[in-house]
Structure 1
Amino acid sequence: MIESILPAAVVAVEVYDDPPEAVLLPEEEPVIAKAVDKRRREFTTVRHCARRALARLGRPATPILPGDKGAPQWPDGIVGSMTHCAGYRAAVLALDTDLHTVGIDAEPHVPLPEGVLAAVSLPEERAHLAALGSDVHWDKLLFAAKESVYKAWFPLARKWLGFSDARVEFDPAGTFRATLLVPGPVVEGVEITGFSGRWVVDNGLAVTAIAVPTKAD
């Protein structure tokens, strides 16, 4: 599913359960040693997906440890993103010669809990969502889009980006645009002022993705 909203340069691996062959590497065990079973299964399976993606890129299996702000530490030459929610885990990876960054998120396609939309959106975003119609839970899609924005932003900027620091607008045809409301990182001599992304709703999930290609693309 997620492959449909990502460029061909990205290797995507997704699963809808926790396969028995999904195991942690010894270096990863201490990170999750005290976690509850649900958290452990998510952590394990999404890394299983990532290692399958690494193999498709011709790279060996390697520990994927949380780094600054919890962001995964990828091997040299690799950019990637991971996501997990109830009934879904996915990892997407690419060579850094093809992409500068990638960010994905998946959420159950149900409305946000009461009060959450006001906490994660701008007034103009709420007005925008209200005008889009009711066939999609746009509030949850907005949340997923902002998560993708942060995951794409952080490897480039190496600092926090709040929900109110980017304004998202959706095209019902399956794309979105996130305009940064704070100074963006400079990549190849150019300041990034926003991100373009794609979205899909399928299998009970709201899924969003951002991929920033290199100039070579």
Structure 2
Amino acid sequence: MLDRVVPPSVRWAHAFEDCLDVELSPQERAVVAGAGARRKAEFATVRACARDALATLGCAPVPLLPGEYGAPQWPDGIVGSMTHCTGYRAAAVASAADVATLGIDAEPHEALPERVLGAIARAEELAMVAALPTTEGIAWDRVLFSAKEAVYKAWFPLARRWLHFREATVTIAPEGTFTARLHTSGPELFGRPLTSFDGRWTADESLVTTAITVERRA
């Protein structure tokens, strides 16, 4: 799935089942010490994915701890993103010399629960979802939700502050891309204010996957 939405500069790994033999560091075990078995397995598996992806960049295993607002703290010189949903865990990483920020998200390919769309979408997004073709069997509301999650994951490492769902307008193109226009002032990126992101999405019978990769200019 991720190979369809991230460029070659991004390395990734995924799992469709939880790994039961992941060795966590003492610091990582402390993070989930009071969690239930399901949360512990999810936490460990997505970190196993992250370590596999980091290894392809020559990075030795290190504790991957949640930081502010739960965002993963990556090794120096690395940008990355994690995602997990029912039946899927994944992590993507890249050298900060190649990529300025990265956000991935995966969701079950099914309609959002009742009232969620109205809570996360702007009026123009509601109109867009209603107008997108129904013949493809795509849960467009779920694609929108996933894209907004990817927007936040790409935004936070740059801005270091929360971004609400309605502070970005996402426009989805049926061929597998999306754009996100920000409605709040952002940090400077490449010498200019950050005002938007471009991303990609894909869907199969079970999963919707979205990603934003901001590669550095040559």
Using structure 1 for the length normalisation, give the TM-score: 0.97
Separation in structure 1 between the aligned mates of residue 143 and residue 4 of structure 2, nearest angstrom:
17
Q: Deviations over 1:152-183 (max 9, x none)?
A: 00000000100010000010000000000111
Query: Secondary structure at the residue paired with 1:61?
Result: coil
Question: Alignment identity in percent?
Answer: 53
- 1:179 aligns with 181
- State which of 155, 160, 163 in structure 2 corresponds to 1:161: 163
Deviation of the 1:137 alpha carbon: 0.4
The residue correspondences of 1:85-96 to structure 2 (distance < 5 A) are 85-96=85-96
Q: Which position in structure 2 is the counterpart of 1:146?
A: 148
1:109 is aligned to 109
Q: CA deviation at 1:191?
A: 1.1
How big is each residue's C-alpha offset from its partner over 1:13-51, in whole Å with a ceiling of 9 and x where there is no partner? 011001233231221011000011111111110000000
Q: How does 1:2-151 map to 2 (within 5 A)?
A: 2-134=2-134, 135-151=137-153
In structure 1, what is the Cα distance between the partners aligned to 2:8 and 2:202?
A: 17
Q: Verify the 8 A CA contact 2:20 2:41 in the aligned structure 1.
A: no
After TM superposition, give the deviation of residue 114 of structure 1 in Å. Answer: 0.5
Is the 2:19–2:41 Cα contact (8 Å) retained in structure 1?
no
> In terms of mean alpha carbon deviation, does 193-202 or 17-26 score higher?
17-26
1:210 paired residue number: 212
**Letter of the 2:158 counterpart:** L
Consecutive aligned runs of 4 or more in structure 1 exceeding 2 Å deviation: 19-23
Which residue identity lines up with residue 194 of structure 1 in the other structure?
A: S
**C-alpha separation in 2, matches of 1:7 and 1:21:** 30
The one-letter amino acid paired with 2:191 is: G
Q: 1:203: Cα distance to partner?
A: 4.5
Contact 1:23 1:45 in 2 (8 A): no
Q: Which amino acid aligns with 1:58?
A: G
Aligned amino acid, residue 172 of structure 2:
F
Count residues in correspondence: 216
Q: Name the CA distance, whole Å, in 1 between partners of 2:97 and 2:174.
A: 31
Task: Return the TM-score normalized by structure 2.
Answer: 0.97
- Distance in 1, matches of 2:125 and 2:26, equals 44
Match of 1:188 among 185, 190, 196: 190
Q: Deviations over 1:192-214 (max 9, x none)?
A: 11000000002400110000011
Cα separation, 1, equivalents of 2:27 and 2:205: 34
CA distance in 1, matches of 2:38, 2:196: 34
Question: Equivalent residue of 2:97, what SS?
Answer: coil
Describe the SS at the equivalent of 1:149.
helix
Partner of 2:107, secondary structure, is strand
For residues 80-105 of structure 1, the C-alpha deviation after alignment (integer angstroms, 9 at most, x for no partner) is 00000000000000000100000000
Instruction: Measure how far apart 1:215 and its partner are.
Output: 1.4
Amino acid at match of 2:196: G
Which blocks of at least 5 consecutive residues in structure 2 are unaligned? none
Q: Distance in 2 between matches of 1:52 and 1:25?
A: 15
In the alignment, residue 72 of structure 2 is paired with which amino acid? P
Structure 1, unaligned runs of 5 or more: none
State the AA in 1 paired with 2:190.
Answer: E
